[in-house]
Amino acid sequence: MFVLGFPLLLIPFAVYNIIAFITPGVSWTATVTTVHMMSGQDWVLTWEDIIVGFAILLLAVEIMKATRIGIRTIIDHMLAMALFIVMLVEFLLVPQAATSTFFLLMAIALVDVLAGFIIGMRASRRQVEIEGQA
């Protein structure tokens, strides 16, 4: 499967950057739609909610990918770490990235990195190698 060596959280990162740099006047907290709930309350959905929700869904897929063992998984972990480092540098140095939306995306990327390494270490401890008799 080709998706294994590709950090899926690159997708919301790229979407954020495309929107932030091409259309600098976009407000991430602008209302996209309002849903009238049965309780009588209105649920206001913003662009920030959509992109963070999408990133969380991709995080779930990334965590499932982290349970695999092999060279592709190691490459995936390295790419996830590189993505987090790029996001951190951008958050610290680029004015368009100094938003709470980008911070939440960066926090999701950090969880991906930590979960990937923790799951990888736990899975590798469970591998048992049995040597044959000579």
Q: Tens place of pLDDT for every residue, the chain, 134 residues?
A: 445 568 899 999 999 999 988 987 778 888 999 999 999 999 999 999 999 999 999 999 998 888 877 777 788 888 999 999 999 999 999 999 999 999 999 999 999 999 988 887 776 665 555 566 65
In a domain, 100, yes or no: yes
In a domain, 108, yes or no: yes
In a domain, 19, yes or no: no
In a domain, 90, yes or no: yes
Residue 96 domain boundaries: 46-126
Distances in whole angstroms, Cα of residue 118 to Cα of each of 7, 37, 44, 94, 133: 17, 39, 36, 30, 34
In a domain, 103, yes or no: yes
CB atoms within 10 A of CB 18: 10
Domain count, the chain: 1
| Separation CA 108–CA 92 (nearest Å) | 16
In a domain, 66, yes or no: yes
